[in-house]
Structure 1
């Protein structure tokens, strides 16, 4: 058993909750189960959901994901964007160095291992002949981070049709 993807009435992902909370929402009639785990049941006639949809639309104000070290590493999958290593010693690299007017924005920062960061130094990736594996972009939301990670790990493949970019 585990986590459950919660969708708005419009099938837009809202959050991830526990299976117990999802069951309570379903029993109260606030949500309906769309996908279920065939290996786990609460009773003989009641399967544990993996995806639920709210019956009433919930208006959620748009909030951009803040640029933090944790969010940046999660966006880049804890992987150096120059060499692809998954070293424990990851750092933040500015694509256009701050000394050259580069800013602290999602589009200008990336994850790099210490070796690549030192090698690149005060140059752009083109000048250092170190192409980026992925162009840095602002992520959609923290929910898409977690949901995409669960989908790609193989634990929640049934979430893929509900999460954009998975």
Structure 2
């Protein structure tokens, strides 16, 4: 069966829940079904994969800590210069610390040791090493779980609802 992406009334990702909880929300009229699996429950009720709440829920903002683990997760454990994917990754400052670059979501990327040494104390432009993607702060901790599900090949239908995160 699996997990269900719950969207706020504004279509922003809010949570991931079980299919049972999603069915209860649908039956109570608190949500509407946007996507579903081809399989059905015994009652011929399609199993939801994406639902949207009918009423807006205000969610308090929660800061995501800037940690090595979160940077690697954001960058999908992939070197942002040469696409190497693996465990032997370091963190690289896009704007080097020697030039005033600090520790921030927008200035740290995952890099393999080889690329990190090759880039040295230069910017990506100076080293002719373009970044795979522009580093940015994730909007929510839900970002990591959604990204993992999409990358693993499960829940591809979630992708169109998560473009902005």
Once the two structures are superposed, residues 88-135 of structure 1 have per-residue CA deviations (whole angstroms, 9 ceiling, x without a partner) of: 101111112223321001111111011211222333223433232222
Q: Using the alignment, how far apart are the partners of 2:155 and 2:24 within structure 1?
A: 21
Give the secondary structure class of the aligned counterpart of 1:70. helix
Shift of 1:149: 4.3
Retained in 2: the 8 A contact 1:80–1:86? yes
Give the secondary structure class of the aligned counterpart of 1:43. coil
Shift of 1:72: 1.2
User: Is 1:131 matched up with 2:130?
Assistant: yes
User: Is 1:29 matched up with 2:38?
Assistant: no
Counterparts of residues 1-166 of structure 1 (less than 5 Å): 1-39=1-39, 41-165=40-164
- Aligned-pair Cα RMSD in Å: 2.3
How high is the TM-score relative to the length of structure 2? 0.84
Retained in 2: the 8 A contact 1:81–1:132? yes
Provide structure 1 residue ranges, at least 5 long, that are not aligned to the other structure.
Answer: none
Provide structure 2 residue ranges, at least 5 long, that are not aligned to the other structure.
Answer: none
Q: How many residues align?
A: 165
